[in-house]
Amino acid sequence: MSDSPLPQLQPMPTDWQRALAVVAHPDDLEFGCSAAIAAWVQDGREITYVLATRGEAGIDTLAPAEAGPLREKEQRASAAAVGVGAVEFLDHQDGVVQYGIPLRRDIAAAIRRHRPELVITLNHRATCGSPSPIPLNPPTPCARTGVLSRRCGRCCGIARTSRHSPTRIPRRTRAVS
C-alpha cells in the first residue's frame, strides 16, 4: 500500500490499435505523454494528433500570424519524431478557446472522422501536479474537458470509446503518467 494521496490507477488497456490524442496547443502532448505515444507507435499502434489551436498566442516575442505557423511546424516535427504521421488542427483561436458547443462539436467530429478505440488527452483540471499545483493555460482544461466523459486526476487521461459504437464520445477514462 502506498502513502500517496492519489487514487490507485487502473492498468492501461492493451487491446486497442487506433487512438486519437486531443489537446489545446502545440507541445501539450510533448509535455504530457509523448514518450508513451512513441512506445505505442513502436508497438504498431496508430495515433493521430488533434489540436484545438495552432498555439498562435504562445510566443510573447512573435505576432500571432508568425507564431501560429512556427508552432504548427514544430508540432508536426515533434509528432514525426515519435512516429505520428497525422496531425490535425481544429483552428480555434488560441488564448480565447472556451468550453462549449463549438469546441465539443469539433472534437466529436474528429472522433467520428478518425474512429479511435482510445482517446488520449491531458488533465482537465485548472492545475497539474501535487502537492504544488502548476496553473494551466485556461484553454488547456477546456479542450480536455471537451474530451472526457468522466474525471481523471492525472496529467494524461485515456478514454475508451465504445466497442459497439466507435463514433460515440468516450465512456471510460484511465489516468497515465
CATH of the domain at 99: 3.40.50.10320
Assess if residue 14 is contained within a domain.
no
Number of helical H runs and strand E runs in the chain: 5, 8
pLDDT > 90 in the chain, percent: 46
Assess if residue 162 is contained within a domain.
yes
| Domain membership of residue 46 as a residue range | 19-175
At residue 1, the pLDDT reads 52
Assess if residue 1 is contained within a domain.
no
Can you tell me the mean pLDDT for 52-73?
A: 93
Separation of alpha carbons 158 and 103, rounded Å: 19
Q: Which residue has the higher pLDDT, 6 or 78?
A: 78
Q: Which residue has the higher pLDDT, 168 or 2?
A: 2
pLDDT bin (cut points 50, 70, 90) of residue 164 is very low
Separation of alpha carbons 132 and 95, rounded Å: 24
Assess if residue 127 is contained within a domain.
yes
Assess if residue 111 is contained within a domain.
yes
Can you tell me the mean pLDDT for 9-13?
A: 77
State the cell numbers at 154.
492525472
Cβ neighbors of 74 (< 8 A, separation 6 or more) are 26, 27
In 7-160, where do the E strands start and end?
A: 18-23, 46-51, 86-89, 118-122, 127-128, 134-135, 156-160
Q: For the chain, how many structural domains are there in total?
A: 1
Assess if residue 102 is contained within a domain.
yes
Assess if residue 3 is contained within a domain.
no
Assess if residue 126 is contained within a domain.
yes
